[in-house]
Chains A and B, each alone.
Chain A
Amino acid sequence: MTESLSSFSYGFALFLSLASLAVYLSGAIWHRISRGTVAGFRLDFTLGIPSVRNKESLFAYSLVASGTSLSTVMVFFLTSGSKYGWWLFLCPFMFAFGNWLMFKVYTTALAQGSLDEEADTPGVAGLIPYIGQRVSGSRRIGWLLVLLSVINLLAVLVLELIVGVEIISYLTHNTFGTEGGHLFDFFLFLVAIGLLMAYVVVGGFRAVLSSDIWQFNAIKWAFILALGGVLYLAFAEGTLDRGLVEISKLSLAHPWEVFCFVVALGVANIFLPSSQEASWQRFRAFREQADFSIRGALIQSIGNALFLWSVLILLALGLLVVAQGNAAGQLDNLSGVLGFLRTLNDSFFPFFIFPVISLAAVSALFSTADTCIAALLFLLEYTRASRQVAPPKRKILGLPPDYLISLLFILLFAVGSYLFVRWMFRPTILQLIFSVWSNLVVIAPTVISAALLGPARPEEAKRRSKYIFLSLTAGFGFYWMPALAALILEGDYLWLNQISIAIGLVASVIPLIPLWLQRSKPARA
């Protein structure tokens, strides 16, 4: 392929990625225009859903699209096939099980009365802190849960943007033949977070949900088409049999790494869905829809998640098959994967698969990142609503001033974290994925307690809040000790990151065992 055609391939991918961003942004603007003047602004902004016929599909697409992030799913699967082989297939099944558990926790908590909204209830504020407040009878527990959830969401947001910036920067530099630089990457980061914030501010939660559908479809079809292309190549070159044997060998080559991976992924995928504010925000938003079937939503969510993740893993393993050993080393970072895909032949891959996968990457980035910002605004609203401070009536730039303060906080934290991670402290993306993504697992026992114990009666409140406080702080502390050690120590300590997930979970479960053992009958029959 000539140099000009090669640049065209990069440029075409960049164009399609940016054009898809323009579609998502224009969707947000249309949502704002169509909404007009809404009396219950906060309710509409943080929990409004588009009026579509099939609400179960909307819920399922949205849940899976926001769960299929660029960094923790797409990059992770595409770059770790050579490390974990067939074991990757555990992830979709664990994730499906985690989704089932989340639905179970939600329906039980609802039946127990843990989600009932009373006079002093922050009805349009974060649900995880609220159920923490209900189960413990303490607002401080609510604020602690806000803190833990905010840290996680902000970290995931920054991680997504770091990976997203890498991809856009890779496409831009190869298109225009320029050299990469930290300043340019930082500029891209600022533009990306600015666009994301504008998108959520303009369109609200409705826009986040709507674009999730298009993003889900874009990701799904990109993976299916890429898998088709890779399988065709594997069959055409006759490398399939040999490649599958190689993958089987790889799967058994590093038993200790595989053990840590299985423990980490098992714990995280099972318990993370129920700990994420974004999932609960969706439950709360769909709760009042008369024609919404939670069972139908569950079935569709699990089906979509299993399908999408399995196709992605097949694609990752298919790339290993066509890479044939010597090129496999290229597949340990996303730029390498994209570069590898682009050079598999001189037509179908550089001009079709490569641009379409780039478009899917940007869609995955946007679907998770906008969900993070919407969930952060929903969470931070709790800090106002739990103090029963009346919402200010005045608006600046069409938003209440407290939302603007929240956005400013998100922006400052995100910029600070980006600078810290990129310029001062340079962990690998895989380390960041395991550290950042999984720390929320320490919240899961508290959320499950809401389903097991129901709301606290006044005489139980003091005792429960003590145990839950201990659970959260111990879980957080024990999680971050090994995780930080793994990040700071020189050398390959990824296993320590992975094991820290199980350690954090165990540490947060132990203080709650007495409560679970002595649980009284639910407060509400």
Chain B
Amino acid sequence: MSIGIGIDALAYFVSPSALLYRQKKAPHYKETFVCILDTAETIRQAQKDDRIARNHCYLCRFTGMAWLVWLINFCIVLSGVFLGLYQVFVSKDWTADFCLGVKFHQGFAILGALLVFGGILYFATNFFSSIFDENCKSFLNRGANTPNTAPEGVHSGRLSENA
């Protein structure tokens, strides 16, 4: 369980998904961005098996969303860091108004709560990514015998590596 808590902690404090993958908690993200740029139709054409194609599309979309959520969480953390730096070196007053009557220490608390919510979103997107990754692999393992004819850049090596 302690490992589980450690992984959760990593996720909540916006570790990149690649770290989670190393702990076997998230799918591989190597070619995600290339995959996201392709249309669903391209992927469908590349995969003969419609089930794999469908799951493949969802996998790409959720993987992309997981990265997006990670990016937003990371922005929240960066905002916190800049806010902290500004407070320490420029403002030097914790109780001073930061914006719209919100003081610095209140601003940090709000960013923290947003980060917790971001953590839930991050879990959800990662979870769906891993579901679709498993789906694709299980379809391939069931002997779909689909030749991997995906054109270069359409996530071609990843599934056969993992399967």
Contacts and interface: CB of A to CB of B under 8 A. Distances in A.
A16 B112 CA distance: 12
A217 interface: yes
B37 interface: no
A304 B8 contact: no
A53 interface: yes
B132 to A, nearest CB: 7
Interface string A215-233: 0011011100100000000
Interface of A: 2, 4-5, 8, 12, 16, 19-20, 23, 27, 30, 33-34, 36, 50-53, 57, 210, 213-214, 217-218, 220-222, 225, 300, 303-304, 307, 346-348, 350-352, 355-356, 359
A8 B116 CA distance: 18
Interface in B114-153: 116-117, 119-121, 123-124, 127-128, 130-132, 134-135, 138
A307 B1 contact: yes
Contacts of B58: 30, 33-34
A16 B113 CA distance: 8
Contacts of A217: 8, 119-120, 123
Given A51-B131, A221-B12, A34 B120 contact: no
Contact of A52 (B108, B120, B131): B131
16 contacts: A4-B101, A16-B116, A20-B120, A27-B128, A30-B128, A34-B54, A34-B131, A51-B131, A52-B134, A210-B128, A213-B123, A217-B120, A221-B116, A347-B109, A351-B106, A352-B110
Contacts of A214: 120, 123-124, 127
Contact of A347 (B4, B105, B135): B105
A49 B87 CA distance: 49
A434 to B, nearest CB: 30
B130 A52 contact: yes
Interface string B24-59: 100000000000000000000000000100110010
B135 A51 contact: yes
A225 B116 contact: yes
Contacts of A19: 117
A33 B40 CA distance: 15
Nearest to B57: A34
A485 to B, nearest CB: 43
Most buried by B among A12, A36, A217, A225: A217
A463 B135 CA distance: 49
B112 A352 contact: yes
Contacts of B108: 347
Contacts of B123: 213-214, 217
A255 B110 CA distance: 44
Given A4-B101, A23-B124, A16 B106 contact: no
B109 A218 contact: no
A351 B109 contact: yes
Most buried by B among A50, A214, A304, A347: A347
A222 B116 contact: yes
Given A27-B124, A50-B131, A352-B109, A20 B117 contact: yes
B135 A355 contact: no
B19 interface: no
Nearest to A8: B102
A23 B55 contact: no
A377 B120 CA distance: 28
Contacts of B51: 36
Q: Give the 8 A-B CB pairs with smallest separation, nearest first.
A: A351-B109, A352-B109, A347-B105, A51-B134, A303-B1, A355-B113, A347-B106, A352-B112
A347 B119 CA distance: 21
